[in-house]
Amino acid sequence: MAEYCQAVSPLADALDILQSEAKCFTGYLLPTLVTLNVQKDLKYVHALTTALITGIDKRFGQYFDRRDLISS
């Protein structure tokens, strides 16, 4: 259970940031995803962390190539 909390806690924090009314702008998406730190070396929930990382990359990976979403 402790490993599950370690794996899901960063994702829950990121969702809290992205769902808040004060910070619901596109400019928050990439910085939040970049700072999302899902631990990869957990023993019991390795499949979960792999699925989280793969799913986030599959869904949001194309946004990292968009110049209009990168603040300069």
Average pLDDT of the segment spanning 57-70: 82
Q: Which residue has the higher pLDDT, 68 or 51?
A: 51
Amino acid, single-letter form, for residue 68: D
Number of independent structural domains in the chain: 1
Task: Count the Cβ atoms, other than its own, within 10 Å of residue 63.
Answer: 14
The residue range of the domain holding 58 is 2-69
Task: Identify the DSSP state of 23.
Answer: T
Maximum pairwise Cα distance, the chain: 41
- Token pair belonging to 56: 């986030």
pLDDT classification of 71: cutoffs 50, 70, 90: low
